[in-house]
């Protein structure tokens, strides 16, 4: 592979890595926000005990669910920056799973899949 194509693929991989890192951070921020808002509502005086319990359970489990879905995106992006083969595979899996979230994650997923399955990119990760 010539140097120009290698640099081009490297820049595509770096763009993908940054985008997945940003989406992972966004997801974690969303998880903390959901938890904070729902837990914060329970601190309002004169709320029934049952409502407090339900809101805290939803806040805890909902934010945990969002964080669990966002962590692989962040991990994949960091691994891509370091040009790790496992990160390329993880990113392909995350990309495929996120295709249903239209429009941004669909576009990012398609872009990631196209770039990470190219032979030039595969060679870039074999060093």
**Per-residue pLDDT, 69:** 94
Given a contact cutoff of 8 angstroms between Cβ atoms, the answer to whether 27 and 97 are in contact is: no
Burial (Cβ within 10 Å: 0-12, 13-18, ≥19) of residue 76 = buried
Give the model confidence (pLDDT) of 15-41 as tens digits. Answer: 999 999 999 999 999 999 999 999 999
Q: Could you tell me the end-to-end alpha-carbon distance of the chain, in angstroms, rounded to an integer?
A: 13
pTM of the shown model: 0.91
Give the model confidence (pLDDT) of 89-112 as tens digits. Answer: 999 999 999 999 999 999 999 999
């Amino acid at each position: 592979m010539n140097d120009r194509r290698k640099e081009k693929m490297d820049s595509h991989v770096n763009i993908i890595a940054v985008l997945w890192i940003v989406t992972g951070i966004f997801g974690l921020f969303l998880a903390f926000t959901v938890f904070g808002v729902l837990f914060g509502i329970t601190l309002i005086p004169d709320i029934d005990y049952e409502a407090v319990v339900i809101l805290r359970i939803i806040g805890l489990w909902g934010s945990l669910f969002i964080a669990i879905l966002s962590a692989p995106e962040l991990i994949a992006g960091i691994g891509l920056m370091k040009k790790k083969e496992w990160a390329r595979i993880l990113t392909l899996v995350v990309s495929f799973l996120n295709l249903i979230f239209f429009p941004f994650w669909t576009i990012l997923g398609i872009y990631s899949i196209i770039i990470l399955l190219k032979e030039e990119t595969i060679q870039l990760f074999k060093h």
